[in-house]
Amino acid sequence: MPANVVVPEVGESIVDARVARWLKKEGDAVSAGEPLVELETDKIDLEVSAPRAGVLRRIAHADGADVKVGEVLAVIEERDAGSGSRVAEERPPAPESRQPEAESRKPAAGSRQPEAESRQPEAESRKPAAGSGKPEAIRATPAARNAAQQNDVDLKKVQGSGEAGRVMRRDVESAFARRDSPSAAAPVPAPKADLKPQTPMREERRQNGDARTEERVRMSKRRATIARRLVEAQSTAAMLTTFNEVDMSAVQAVRERHKQSFKERHGVGLGLTSFFVKAVIGALREFPRLNAEIQGDEMVLKRYYDIGIAVGASEGLVVPVLRDADRLSFAQIEQTVRAFAKAAEDGTLSLSDIQGGTFTITNGGVFGSLLSTPILNPPQVGILGLHTIKDRPVAVNGQVVIRPMMYTALTYDHRIVDGAEAVQFLVRVKQLVEDPGALLLE
């Protein structure tokens, strides 16, 4: 009896997906649990496996098609004697099985011999290598395949760095960079001195490789969802941003004193994220409406602290969540954030990693941003933006001194958070970061 392969239910917030790539083709024999197709959703990428062994009889949606949860992707039939014979008929017979037939159809001496000889190279080209069966499928993420297609990179020649040798997007980009490095590029000949002045400018651009070109690229599901949610956030929330600056001298001194011993004990560096996570939790306890959401005419004040950490991956921004962050140590926060960043780049984040969250921290400073206005991550009503640290002159006890300063920005939903409340929240974060010892009392 045929079995349907359907789009699985990944989570309540995911209702559709896109077929990134079929790993099998119609007529292929499959085993139970064998990956059949890669799907791309707005949050995670996943593989759909065969529910049973048999033959992949029909593919309902080709690569690039948008599908809904529960929709049939393909049909698998039992591999009984009848179906097995049909598959055998569809596949070209082995060279040995064609030999008697070839002998029986062997032409008489001198008749149509050139045609037979001309077909020989074709048969040789289709002959499988000795000892090899079906070619092994290349394991690569959808992002890596898209990058390889856009940059004309052969995935067979790329060494994968992911789990079980899976090719990641960064592997493709590294291969492309090596291929197009200046050392590997062919020298460009110097232009001739006798070029005619009447040569059109457009022709000169073509000769120098500077032709005006355009490229149309379909947005991934994640990128399209990011675009839609950002517009929704600005149209549904009354967003306002308040700013402050933080003297990072004390935090930098603590990190300098303990960075070596911390890394030896925990296997990860002592970064800035853990200090701000602890400071945010301390401020949220004093200003609980920034740890809430709006549901109709009600405010839902949350007494737990699931802090989202925005991570900029190559496929788009994701916000994995630190569950019960108030119960985590500095080391646990740094280890988890590091694991999130790696999983985001590899495309291995699970849905549970990015669901929920009561407040978000985003750090544009890692990219060099001096100041920005972060956008809310609905249904949350607060997001803290961190920025790059710069040495600036500041007044301390009546004297001008040079200190490492960071601008911070708090965007909040003015529907339930008042301006004074938001300003005091950001001031409290500033106080806790500038006095790291106070974090131990929170």
Catalytic residue annotation:
414, 418
The pair of structure tokens assigned to 152 is 């004309």
CA Rg value for the chain: 30
Q: Name every residue whose Cβ is closer than 8 Å to that of residue 205 and which is 6 or more positions away in sequence.
A: 211, 212
Residue 293 Rama label (left phi>0; alpha psi -120 to 50; beta): beta
Instruction: Report CA dihedral (279, 280, 284, 286) to the nearest 10 degrees.
Output: 30
Give the count of beta carbons closer than 10 Å to the beta carbon of residue 413: 25
The pair of structure tokens assigned to 371 is 């100041």
The pair of structure tokens assigned to 412 is 């909040």
Distance CA 66, CA 46 (A): 14
Q: Which residue, 266, 253, 393, is CA-closest to 332?
A: 266
Distance CA 90, CA 2 (A): 19
Compute CA distances 47 → 23, 37, 50, 142, whole Å.
Answer: 9, 6, 10, 10
Would you give the end-to-end CA distance of the chain in angstroms?
A: 62
Asked if 340 contacts 319 with a C-beta cutoff of 8 angstroms, the reply is: no
Asked if 67 contacts 74 with a C-beta cutoff of 8 angstroms, the reply is: no
Asked if 140 contacts 155 with a C-beta cutoff of 8 angstroms, the reply is: yes
Q: Could you tell me the sign of the dihedral formed by the alpha carbons of 75, 81, 86, 88, in that order? A: positive
Asked if 419 contacts 265 with a C-beta cutoff of 8 angstroms, the reply is: no
Q: Which residue blocks in 287-418 are alpha helix, DSSP H?
A: 330-346, 351-354
Asked if 284 contacts 297 with a C-beta cutoff of 8 angstroms, the reply is: no
Distance CA 66, CA 354 (A): 22
Q: Which residue, 426, 391, 420, is CA-closest to 408?
A: 426
Distance CA 96, CA 63 (A): 36
Asked if 50 contacts 68 with a C-beta cutoff of 8 angstroms, the reply is: no
